[in-house]
Structure 1
Amino acid sequence: MGGLRKSFDGRLVLDDINLDVPSGQIVGIIGQSRGGKTTLMRCVNLLEQPEHGTITIGDETIFADGKVACRDLAKLRQRVGMVFQRFNLFPHLTAVENVVLAQMHAAGIGERDAVACAVRLLTRVGLTKRAMAYPEQMSGGEQQRVAIARALALGPTVLLFDEPTSALDPESTGEVLRVMRELAADGMTMILVTHELPFAREVSDWVVFIDGGRIIEQGTAADVLDRPREARTAAYVARYASPG
């Protein structure tokens, strides 16, 4: 993406954002609340539409010159899956039904094939024995892994994670981290928004610090979190690395 700009009610939220996400990499986006990081991620699949700049996914430009260039937004959102902070599972459906429903409604896949895919993906995320459980019967980490399976069922080339561990305890966070590592090993491209610096350090190939709608610093996790060059980055890391 290049030259990305976005405003809300006259307030500039993204200001000249330039970011490349190589295929198969995990990019962690960190920064203060209301700093623009979630808006940036939502622009990637056009849940928010920028005012200026370009967004290219693979070899397809989906936004340019202030206009949406993507012809099929539904197809785009299958290619660019999103895993939300609060899981967004249907409470009246079992784990397998949540994954099946996404395929049948979003991709028009037949029920038999959708069930087979759902079972395979729930196994992949370590939930074989929880396929018939309802969300209220699962831990937060289990629900988040169901949400990941649901996103994977649509065959994305990129996965977006919006604060995927903020509602989880340390054990559940570890479960989600394991799944993300396995996806990375399989070549999945991921963009992660998080305020949890230890998680960003563990999972990210590249870390981007956003403040006031601008990218202040980016680099490897070790560079940004251990050896920040910019004073604003150093202050943010020192604040959120401190206990309490």
Structure 2
Amino acid sequence: MTSATTRLRPDVVVRIENLSKSFDGRLVLDGVGLTVRHKKIVAIIGQSGGGKTTLLRCLNLLERPDHGLLEVAGETIFSGDEVRCHDLAKLRQSVGMVFQRFNLFPHLTAVENVMLAQLRAGIPEQDALERAVQLLRRVGLAHRGVAYPEQMSGGEQQRVAIARALALRPKVLLFDEPTSSLDPESTAEVLRVMRELADDGMTMVLVTHELPFAREVADWVVFVDGGRIVEEGEPAEVLGKPRELRTRTFLASYAAGQ
């Protein structure tokens, strides 16, 4: 990666300015700006199709923005309309991601899934194994190390995915609707692990429909609609006393569906 601009404050892990992205002529992100500080949890909420997941995927260049500025962990990774990061593997060590659908390798056991990225990063096999076992223990799955994904519940698979995302000690961890495909019991298991990560001071950006969890855990809530940030602030403000009509309408719709 190229060296970062000196404007980035030491406690800022992610800075986004005027970020835009289109798909087939449809504007999905429209001039988005956001700052994520060290050891803070930012929850992104909003209706499906509003641009939340695209914003998350731009942060590790799984999607290439059309225009704007992205800085992660002190490095400029995208500026203007050009990618400035020439080592995507290194970027994705700094920016871990947990996907909605787990994305585990079906032919690998839990411990092998957690080891794989470490081995590709050049970490010795024994060290990778020890860290994988440690992380599986951290997410409550020490007893499932030799299980394959098809032998695990959805909640167990998602916890393995969290362990895998932590394996390379990322600066920030991204979660894309991590509980949307889980039953209530599995959801509770995953949210417990995420709560523990928050207590440990992990910097996190999460797209979520779990508004009570966002209210409890997040330091900052961002409401995205139509590719724009409509409102942002502390959870008590955005979720309890929203200023914008669009935010109030969304929250009322959410409450009616519960």
* SS of residue in 2 equivalent to 1:41: helix
CA deviation vs aligned residue, 1:137-190 (integer Å, no higher than 9, x gap): 222111111000011111211111011000112222222122112212222111
Q: Percent identity?
A: 72
Equivalent residue, structure 1, for 2:50: 35
Q: Which residue of 2 aligns with 1:212?
A: 226
Distance in 2 between residues matched to 1:7 and 1:91, nearest whole Å: 33
**What residue is the counterpart of 2:205 in the other structure?**
191
2:127 paired residue among 113, 118, 123: 113
The answer on 1:139 being equivalent to 2:116 is no
Q: Output the TM-score relative to the length of structure 1.
A: 0.95
Query: Within 5 Å, which residues of 2 pair with 1:1-244?
Result: 1-105=16-120, 107-243=121-257
* Contact 1:197 1:241 (C-alpha < 8 Å) held by counterparts: no
Q: Do the aligned partners of 1:158 and 1:188 also contact (CA within 8 Å) in 2?
A: yes
| 1:102-136 Cα deviation digits (max 9, x unpaired) | 2112x122211111110011011111111112212
What RMSD over aligned residues (CA atoms) do the two structures have, in Å? 1.2
Aligned length: 243
Structure 2 unaligned segments of length 5 or more: list them. Answer: 1-15
Q: Which moved more, 1:132-141 or 1:209-218?
A: 132-141
CA distance in 2, matches of 1:20, 1:84: 22
Q: In 1, Cα distance between the equivalents of 2:110 and 2:74?
A: 34
In the alignment, the residues of structure 2 paired with residue 66 and residue 112 of structure 1 have an alpha-carbon distance, to the nearest angstrom, of 42
8 Å contact kept, 2:198–2:217: no
Q: Tell me, what secondary structure is at the counterpart of 1:129?
A: helix
Distance across 2 between alignment mates of 1:199 and 1:137? 28
Q: TM-score, normalised by structure 2?
A: 0.90
